[in-house]
């Protein structure tokens, strides 16, 4: 099975309904989730809408929200740094 | 008598004919979302829906549209369901005056009935998750109260935040979360990530109706949502200590999920049909790991459909957006009479005010755009006289038609901050803003010819009541 959105093979079946009425799958590459009983436009790669598909590059290049901040320097490191500047 | 949990509120809605039980079997997709979408189109007295039989979820019950009409919003505040919107906002504002009301810690929260830890946590087994809009990136939880503390000041109760943020289920114990940069939770996360630490988090799902209202209210950073809940309820809000994180959580919640927002991790999230009526997504956002889930027996999954406005979220956020803006404006400008910021969480805001001096109205308008909420919203601010009801859009249009002169009364502000979800912002997060001064000029501003306004004739009010009585009798 491949992900209908990013075509990754990293897909897990995360839930099977008691009685087997449906299965939920989850892509661990683009994190798309779907139920096998949904329409083809949500479950079949060839039918997935072009504007909502994702490539590896798009996943990597996506902006961060919120951006990861720089690590704060510990207080003693600040003191050391100040000494260095002198 | 305030509601201590969602179940008590659903009983009250039932008694008022504001809850429809759907007992026929329905499929997770697309029945649930389509029905919730349809409920949003039923008008000012739309009911909440409770689905009792969802295919493949033997014990799953789903409640939607709980705040999805003015009638239900009124009942959440224990007002008569026919209470006019402006009156509901006034009552919300009046009760805010008694803020803060300290909460009450209660023992034995019902969510302790069942617990799963660590790798036994399985969101897909506890929650009847389903897709809302066709192109959503997955199954979301979008009406839960998310609770975090300020890592730099963890003992400050007011800085503990209770807010609603979209959560994309990404695995049995994994969520993606959208903490908007202007939101309090983003401050908490930044502080934790600067230290290289995970941020403890509790996600409380299925709450009493006032908790959802305060979680949707843009309060000041150090103001407690629980202390506002007490003011709105007229009684202390019942809270409990979360067993794993020790965060303060709503006592009556159906499901409590605890864990951490992982430090310095970002992962692709979305898209998701948002309250702007557009999909948003394609950004790398933080990730929550759930370490413990606690839940009541047969928990109710409360969910919120949002899409092309208006939907439930507009009712949930509408008055909750007007009132803090009104409070903040009045603190500096007591002349401000009313604020209607119900349009897309206040992207458009209408303010009525008395004018202290010439030019006063536009100063008020500029202040709207620089309030904490205005920083990310209030893209179009319309200022009207105190005699114009900002909730009466025909009156507002009359003021714009006759008081507003585009030559002088349009104040444009380029390159202002806005929430990145605003689809017109370019780049995302940056937008122009505009103040439209539709008030009558005050001396020494003497522009225009506004000195001879026509007013309702004396006695109109008396005749209005008389005519209403006559028509009511004729219709009976």
What residue in A sits closest to B172 (Cα-Cα)? A14
What is the structure's pLDDT at B31?
A: 95
Alpha helical stretches, state H, B333-410: 360-369, 393-403
**How high is the pLDDT of residue B476?**
86
Say whether both B339 and B421 belong to one domain.
yes
Query: B298 and B397 share a domain?
Result: no
- pLDDT tens-digit series, residues B411-443: 999 999 999 999 999 999 999 999 999 999 999
Q: Summarize the confidence of residues B401-407 as an average pLDDT.
A: 98
Flag whether B402 is in a domain: yes
**Residue B244 structure tokens:** 């794993």
Which one from B90, B274, B302, B312 is the annotated catalytic residue? B274
| Helices of type H across B48-161 | 70-76, 85-96, 123-126
Omega prior to B66 cis, within 30 of 0: no
CA B429-B161-B72 angle, to 5 degrees, is: 85
Q: What is the pLDDT of residues B347-359, one digit of tens each?
A: 999 999 999 999 9
Q: Are residues B226 and B361 in the same domain?
A: no
B362 and B220, same structural domain? no
Q: At what angle do helices B312-332 and B85-96 cross, to 10 degrees?
A: 50
* Same domain for B146 and B26: yes
**In this structure, are B288 and B392 located in the same domain?**
no
Q: Which domain holds residue B433?
A: 333-438
Claim to verify: residue B161 and residue B40 sit in the same structural domain: yes
Question: Is B269 annotated as catalytic?
Answer: no
Tell me whether residue B405 is in a domain.
Answer: yes
**Where residue B419 sits, what CATH number does that domain have?**
3.40.1670.10
> CA-CA distances (angstroms) from residue A14 to A27, B48, B251, B269, B348?
10, 30, 30, 18, 42
d(Cα B49, Cα B20) in Å, to the nearest integer?
Answer: 5
Give the H/E segment covering residue B205. strand B199-205
CA distance B190 to chain A (A): 6
Residue A84 has pLDDT above 90, yes or no: no
Q: Let me know if residue A72 belongs to a domain.
A: yes
Same domain membership, residue B357 and residue B241 = no
Closest residue of B to A70, CA-based? Answer: B194
Please indicate, yes or no, if residue A4 is contained in any of the structural domains.
Answer: no
Query: B469 in a domain, yes or no?
Result: no
Give pLDDT, residue B96: 96
Chain B residues lying within 8 Å of A19, measured CB to CB: 56
Which pLDDT belongs to residue A75?
59
> Which pLDDT band, with edges at 50, 70 and 90, does A31 fall under?
very high
User: Whole domain around residue A71: which residue ranges?
Assistant: 11-85
Contacts of residue A62, defined as CB under 8 A and 6 or more positions apart, other chains included, come to B268, B282, B283, B284
Judge whether B450 lies within some domain.
no
In tens, the pLDDT along B265-279 reads 999 999 999 999 999
d(CA B144, CA B149): 17
10 Å CB burial of residue B100 (0-12, 13-18, 19+) is middle
CA separation, residue B181 to residues A27, A69, B286, B357, B445 (Å): 27, 12, 12, 37, 40
- Are residues B280 and B344 located together in one domain of the fold? no
- The per-residue pLDDT for B180 is 85
pLDDT above 90 as % of chain A: 84
pLDDT in tens, B188-202: 999 999 999 999 999
Q: In this structure, is residue A28 part of a structural domain?
A: yes
B422 plus B363 within the same structural domain:
yes
Whether A70 sits inside 8 A of B283 (CB atoms) is: no
How far, in Å, CA of B225 to CA of B162, rounded? Answer: 6
- Across the interface, of A15, A22, A66, the residue whose CB is closest to B181 is A66
pLDDT of residue B285: 97
Are B70 and B189 in the same domain? yes
Residue B250, pLDDT score: 98
Q: Quick one: which of B92, B109, B106 has its CA closest to B338?
A: B92
pLDDT above 70: residue B119: yes
Asked if the structure places residue B308 within a domain, the reply is no
Residue B467 lies in a domain: no
As a whole number of angstroms, the distance between CA A63 and CA A85 comes to 35
- Number of domains present in the structure of chain A: 1
Residues linked to residue B290 through DSSP beta bridges, in sequence order? B259
| B419 in the same domain as B288 | no
Domain count, chain B: 2
pLDDT of A79 strictly over 70: no
Q: Are strands B380-385 and B430-438 parallel, antiparallel or unpaired?
A: parallel
Q: Is residue B143 part of a domain?
A: yes
Task: Say which CATH number the domain at B162 has.
Answer: 2.30.110.10
Q: Please report the residues numbered 64 through 103 in chain B whose beta carbons come closer than 8 angstroms to any beta carbon of chain A.
A: none
């Amino acid at each position: 099975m491949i992900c209908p959105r990013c075509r990754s093979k990293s897909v897990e079946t995360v839930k099977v309904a008691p009685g087997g009425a449906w299965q939920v799958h989850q892509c661990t590459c683009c994190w798309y989730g779907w139920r096998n009983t949904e329409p083809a436009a949500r479950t079949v790669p060839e039918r997935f809408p072009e504007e909502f598909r994702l490539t590896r590059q798009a996943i990597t290049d996506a902006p961060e929200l919120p951006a990861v901040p720089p690590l704060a320097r510990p207080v003693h490191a600040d003191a050391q740094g100040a000494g260095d500047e002198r | 008598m305030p509601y201590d949990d969602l179940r008590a509120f659903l009983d009250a809605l039932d008694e008022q004919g504001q809850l429809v039980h759907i007992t026929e079997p329905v499929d997770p997709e697309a029945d649930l979302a389509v029905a919730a979408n349809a409920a949003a189109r039923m008008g000012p007295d739309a009911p909440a829906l409770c689905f009792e039989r969802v295919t493949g979820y033997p014990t799953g019950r789903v409640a939607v549209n709980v705040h999805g009409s003015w009638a239900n919003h009124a009942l959440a505040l224990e007002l008569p369901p026919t209470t006019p919107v402006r009156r509901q906002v006034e009552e919300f504002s009046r009760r805010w005056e008694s803020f803060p009301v300290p909460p009450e810690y209660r023992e034995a929260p019902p969510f302790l009935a069942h617990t799963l830890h660590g790798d036994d946590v399985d969101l897909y087994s506890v929650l009847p998750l389903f897709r809302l809009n066709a192109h959503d990136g997955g199954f979301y939880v979008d009406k839960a109260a998310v609770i975090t503390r300020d890592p730099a000041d963890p003992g400050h109760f007011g800085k503990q935040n209770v807010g609603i943020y979209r959560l994309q289920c990404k695995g049995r114990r994994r969520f993606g979360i959208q903490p908007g940069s202007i939101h309090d939770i983003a401050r908490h996360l930044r502080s934790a990530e600067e230290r290289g630490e995970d941020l403890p988090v509790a996600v409380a799902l299925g709450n009493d109706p006032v908790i959802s209202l305060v979680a949707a209210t843009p309060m000041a950073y150090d103001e407690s949502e629980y202390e506002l809940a007490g003011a709105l309820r007229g009684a202390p809000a019942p809270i409990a200590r979360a067993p794993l994180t020790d965060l303060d959580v709503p006592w009556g919640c159906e499901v409590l999920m605890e864990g951490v927002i992982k430090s310095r991790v970002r992962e692709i999230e979305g898209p998701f049909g948002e309250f702007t009526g557009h999909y948003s997504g394609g950004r790398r956002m933080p990730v929550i790991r759930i370490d413990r889930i606690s839940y009541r027996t047969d928990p109710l999954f409360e969910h919120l459909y949002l899409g092309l406005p208006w939907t439930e979220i507009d009712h949930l956020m509408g008055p909750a957006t007007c009132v803090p803006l009104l409070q903040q404006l009045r603190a500096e400008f007591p002349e401000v009479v009313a604020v209607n910021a119900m349009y897309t969480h206040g992207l458009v805001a209408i303010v009525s005010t008395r004018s202290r001096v010439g030019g006063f109205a536009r100063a008020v308008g500029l202040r709207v755009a620089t309030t904490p909420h205005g920083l990310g919203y209030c893209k179009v601010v319309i200022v009207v006289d105190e005699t114009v009801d900002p909730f009466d859009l025909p009156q507002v249009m009359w003021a714009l038609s006759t008081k507003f002169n585009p030559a002088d009364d349009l104040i444009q502000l380029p390159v202002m901050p806005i929430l990145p979800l605003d689809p017109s912002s370019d780049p995302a997060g940056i937008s122009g803003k505009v103040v439209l001064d539709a008030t009558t000029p005050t001396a020494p501003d003497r522009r225009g010819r506004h000195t001879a306004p026509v007013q309702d004739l004396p006695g109109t009010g008396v005749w209005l009541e008389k005519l209403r009585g006559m028509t009511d009798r004729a219709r009976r």
